[in-house]
Amino acid sequence: MKPWTPTNPAFADAVRASFTRQSMMATLGAAIVRLAPGEVDLAAPFAPQFGQQNGFWHAGAVASLADSANGYAAFTLAPAGTDVLAVEFKINLLAPAVGDRFVACGRVVRPGRTLTVCQAEVFAETAAGGAASGPARNLVATMSSTLIVRRRASDPSFPNDG
Amino acid sequence: MKPWTPTNPAFADAVRASFTRQSMMATLGAAIVRLAPGEVDLAAPFAPQFGQQNGFWHAGAVASLADSANGYAAFTLAPAGTDVLAVEFKINLLAPAVGDRFVACGRVVRPGRTLTVCQAEVFAETAAGGAASGPARNLVATMSSTLIVRRRASDPSFPNDG
Amino acid sequence: MKPWTPTNPAFADAVRASFTRQSMMATLGAAIVRLAPGEVDLAAPFAPQFGQQNGFWHAGAVASLADSANGYAAFTLAPAGTDVLAVEFKINLLAPAVGDRFVACGRVVRPGRTLTVCQAEVFAETAAGGAASGPARNLVATMSSTLIVRRRASDPSFPNDG
Amino acid sequence: MKPWTPTNPAFADAVRASFTRQSMMATLGAAIVRLAPGEVDLAAPFAPQFGQQNGFWHAGAVASLADSANGYAAFTLAPAGTDVLAVEFKINLLAPAVGDRFVACGRVVRPGRTLTVCQAEVFAETAAGGAASGPARNLVATMSSTLIVRRRASDPSFPNDG
């Protein structure tokens, strides 16, 4: 997407501090593998405790990683002192989430003062057998998200701020 | 919704057997609390390891529970020997997922030979203070899902069956 | 849904005035057939100029009617002097849009100061042959929408208010 | 996306023949402006009869164009003798649909034997004032769609094939 300009010069620190507080990311074993204005990639290893009935990664695990990638992509462009919350997302599950590691790449499509729209792609990576070949990379899901930017001090009673 | 007629008389056993294999549900501490033709409710306690940055349940945890509720609601109406996989879902996050327990109620909207559409509501329940009052119940998310029904024997290479 | 309380006592007039300005509704031949706090039903006759390749109503026509039904359902609860715009919607197309008339029933799921979430069901109605039987009514689509409430005076440069 | 290989050598003729039958496209004044394997762009001029309450193009008009662009993108890769129907789509409305002309660019993300997933971007184009400057182009919406491929002879009783 565009070369976005962050309004918070300390955006990278803000993202890392918030990511550390997301216990779900620690539970999944996720890490930030790319962090730039409007762009955040998160990676997590396959682990059997997040499976569905066939042993694939559960769609909810895929969605967790993609939702956080989009949320932090939006957060890179948010002003200091704000928080970002998803108000909705939609995921298309393109292939079974089978692999050694999953990478969710979140990108800002349109930043806004109130609402930001992001898209994520989730890849399953499998360590390849042959010496010459690199890891196989398969697109397993796409997500579009709407996120709301809020003053941190505001009442935490919601995304939707009733 | 309608009083649906299951085609598999052993649908309840089929759902319970599949649910036991979903390690993600065990990880979340989820249990089946309602199981009827076209209707499945799943409940899970709040647990701090699935949080987002403010300590609320992560949207991905909410989505995991709702996705499985919709999947099993669809599965109650599927023929014996088939499996059900989500091809997409969309979730609206209406309020922060704060509570003692979350209940996702999945319902079939339209069953089909190939595709089934379901809707889920997710409630956050909080044990109330007063003796007389029951638990407070707050609608925190709604989800719509499309699921594909496949022969169990078929190649597991996908929802989308490339 | 709940018995919502409108904040604008003249909500019905506000909806009717806005509806008259939506030229798309006039083009489709749509009319308001129900108008209550948080609830708006719109109906439009089948017309061959809005078809897809098989002669069914185009998914875009179905979406137009449902989007406006949800928008006006949200608008019934908005303060005087505001406008409501959709920021996103998702539609599941359950059956071909075949019938004599289409009715979209929009309902508020959660109203908010900034964002409101609505759901719509779209029915295809067909005049039945027999004297005793009423019109057949078939659910052809469901839609979930997020809408933003804005001051009317504000810069019209967007939903997303960049 | 990838360089897809069509299975129907006459895919372009098949798309054009179907497009001619979509009366909604004629009503909007839409034309095919790009047609390649997995890629279809449709353009339509602004016209006041498809407006919402502020005179912008109605979200349903934007959705109609994007839905058809995605449908025909999927159709370029479908076998001869089949038809393609949308089973669901989700649209994010990023900016008001203001402009002289709208262009929806539909792209296949993942083709499948049964289901195909596409994404579209919709741009509003405005003829610029200055001699040197070309038309301004603004991204106003993104859409993700799931489409089902069916034998043409099959019972038309559905997308969802009950």
The per-residue pLDDT for range A50-107, each reduced to its tens digit, is 999 998 999 999 999 999 999 999 999 999 999 999 999 999 999 999 999 999 999 9
- Which range (A130-134, B140-144, C100-104, C127-131) has the least confidence? A130-134
Q: Do D114 and B88 touch (CB under 8 A)?
A: no
Q: Which chain D residues contact residue C67 at CB under 8 A?
A: 58-60, 63
Query: In the beta sheet, which residues pair with residue D108?
Result: D118
C67 interfacial to chain D (CB closer than 8 Å): yes
Return the bridge partners of A158, or none.
none
Q: Would you call C139 and B94 a contact, using CB atoms and an 8 Å cutoff? A: no
| Residues of chain C positioned with their CB less than 8 A from the CB of B119 | 142
**For residue A67, which amino acid is it?**
D
Strand duo B39-45 + B31-36: pairing? antiparallel
Which residue in D24, D53, D159 is closest to C93 by CB distance?
A: D159
CA atoms of A14 and A12, how far apart (whole Å): 5
Average pLDDT over residues B131-159: 78
pLDDT of residue D162: 37
- Test C110 with B94 for CB contact under 8 angstroms: yes
- pLDDT score of D34: 98
How far, rounded to the nearest angstrom, does the alpha carbon of residue C48 sit from its chain's CA centroid? 21
Closest approach of C88 to chain A, Cα-based (Å): 8
Q: Do D93 and C86 touch (CB under 8 A)?
A: yes
Rounded CA separation C141/B117 (Å): 10
Comparing CB atoms, the residue among A50, A93, A158 nearest residue B86 is A93
Q: What is the DSSP letter of C153?
A: T
Task: Report how far apart, in Å, the C-alpha atoms of A128 and of each of A63, A132, A136, C34, C57 are.
Answer: 25, 9, 6, 60, 49
Contact B58 A22 (CB under 8 A): yes
Of D24, D52, D92, the CB nearest to C22: D52
C87, C150, C161: best mutation site toward chain A, by most A Cβ within 10 Å?
A: C87
* Mean residue pLDDT across chain A: 91
Phi-psi region of D29 (alpha: psi -120 to 50; beta: other; left: phi over 0): left
Q: What is the pTM of this model?
A: 0.93
pLDDT-derived band at A3, boundaries 50, 70, 90: confident
- Cβ under 8 Å to B: A residues 81-110: 83, 85-96
* CB spacing of B142 vs C139 below 8 angstroms: no
For residue A82, count other CB atoms closer than 10 A to its CB: 17
Residue A46 to residues A56, A66, D21, D129, Cα–Cα distance (Å): 9, 15, 48, 55
Predicted confidence at residue C2, as pLDDT, reads: 73
Closest CA to C119 of C79, C89, C140: C89
By C-alpha distance, the chain A residue nearest D112 is A94
Q: Within an 8 Å CB–CB cutoff, is residue A51 touching chain B?
A: yes
Contact yes or no for A117 and D142 at CB 8 A: yes
Contacts of C58 in chain D (CB under 8 A): 22-24, 64, 67-68
Please list every residue in chain D whose beta carbon sits closer than 8 Å to the beta carbon of residue A119: 142
CA distance D132 to chain B (A): 44
Distance from CA of B26 to the nearest CA of C (A): 30
Residue C112 is nearest to which of A110, A113, A162, comparing CB atoms? A162
The answer to whether the CB atoms of B63 and A58 lie below 8 A apart is no
State the pLDDT at residue D2. 73
**pLDDT tens by residue, B3-39:** 899 999 999 999 999 999 999 999 999 999 999 999 9
Do A122 and A95 touch, CB atoms closer than 8 A?
Answer: no
Residue A133, pLDDT score: 63
> Who's near A133: CB < 8 A, 6+ residues apart?
none
Which chain A residues are within 8 Å of C146, Cβ to Cβ? 87-88, 146
The arithmetic mean of pLDDT across residues A27-53, rounded, is 97
Give chains near B: 3+ CB pairs under 8 A.
A, C, D
CB-nearest to C21 from D53, D86, D94 is D53
B158 touches D: beta carbon within 8 Å: yes
Residues A130, A5: Cα–Cα separation, whole Å = 42
Question: How many Cβ contacts (< 8 angstroms) between chains C and D?
Answer: 148
Choose the closest CB to D159 out of C55, C83, C96: C96
Cβ of residue B112 closer than 8 Å to a chain D Cβ: yes
Contact C60 D59 (CB under 8 A): no
Please report which confidence band the pLDDT of residue C45 belongs to, taking 50, 70 and 90 as the band edges. very high
Which chain C residues are closer than 8 Å to D68 by Cβ?
58, 60
- What are the tens digits of pLDDT across the range B33-90? 999 999 999 999 999 999 999 989 999 999 999 999 999 999 999 999 999 999 999 9
> Residues of chain A with pLDDT > 90: what percent?
85
What is the predicted pLDDT for the residue at B157? 44
D90–A144: do the CB atoms touch at under 8 Å?
Answer: yes
Report the gap between the CA of B88 and the closest CA in chain D (Å).
8
Has residue A135 got a pLDDT over 90? Answer: no
Give the ipTM.
Answer: 0.91
Is the Cβ pair B148, D110 closer than 8 Å? no
Q: Do the chains contact at D161 and B87, CB–CB below 8 Å?
A: no
How far apart, in whole angstroms, are the C-alpha atoms of residue D20 and residue D72?
12
Beta strands in chain A (DSSP E): 31-36, 39-45, 82-93, 101-110, 115-126, 136-151
Measured in angstroms, the CA of A116 and the nearest CA of chain C are apart by: 7
Is residue B107 exposed (0-12), middle (13-18) or buried (19+ Cβ within 10 Å)? buried
Q: Which residues of chain D have pLDDT under 50?
A: 155-162
Please answer yes or no on whether C67 and D59 come within 8 Å at the CB atom: yes
Is the pLDDT assigned to residue A11 strictly greater than 80? yes
d(CA C71, CA B35): 35
- Cβ distance A95 to D110 less than 8 Å, yes or no, reads yes
Question: Which residues in chain C are closer than 8 Å to D24, comparing Cβ atoms?
Answer: 49-52, 58, 60-61
Q: Give the minimum alpha-carbon distance from D87 to chain A in angstroms, rounded to a whole number.
A: 12
Q: How confident is the model at residue B135 (pLDDT cuts 50, 70, 90)?
A: confident
- Output the 3-class SS for chain B: CCCCCCCCCCHHHHHHHHHHHCHHHHHHCCEEEEEECCEEEEEEECCHHHECCCCCECHHHHHHHHHHHHHHHHHCCCCCCEEEEEEEEEEEECCCCCCCEEEEEEEEEECCCCEEEEEEEEEEEECCCCCCCCCEEEEEEEEEEEEEEEECCCCCCCCCCC
